[in-house]
Amino acid sequence: MNIMTRTVFKDGIERPENKGVEIHCTCECDNCKQRYEYSKYREHINVQLRNRVIIAVWDENQLKQAMEFAEKWRCKDGSRELPTEYLKFD
């Protein structure tokens, strides 16, 4: 599983009460890897062909649970590109 995190703020207002974490996961199943390898060398194809999920965490107490979910997440159908899933832990 390829996981990246970044700090975000609600409505772009940088205050401690608006602080959250966004977790980006890309699927590493065989089909997603194959589509990514195919597209990597072709400039006209979007290189984000692996299925992905983005999780927003606004409550620090939920961060551990969200990371566990992200580590276990797998796409539903690796044979085709699915829309990005957006989830929220708050």
Phi, psi torsion values for 89, nearest 5 degrees: -110, 115
What DSSP string describes 4-66? EEEEEEGGG---GGGEEEEEEEE--SHHHHHHHHHHHT-TTS-S--S-EEEEEE-SGGGHHHH
Tell if the pTM clears 0.85, that is, is over it: no
pLDDT in 10s for each residue of the chain, 90 residues: 789 999 999 999 999 999 999 999 988 888 888 877 776 676 655 556 678 899 999 998 999 999 999 999 988 887 777 888 999 987
**pLDDT at residue 46 in the model:** 54
**Dist CA 63 CA 59 (whole Å):** 7
How many CB atoms are located within 10 Å of the residue 68 CB? Answer: 10
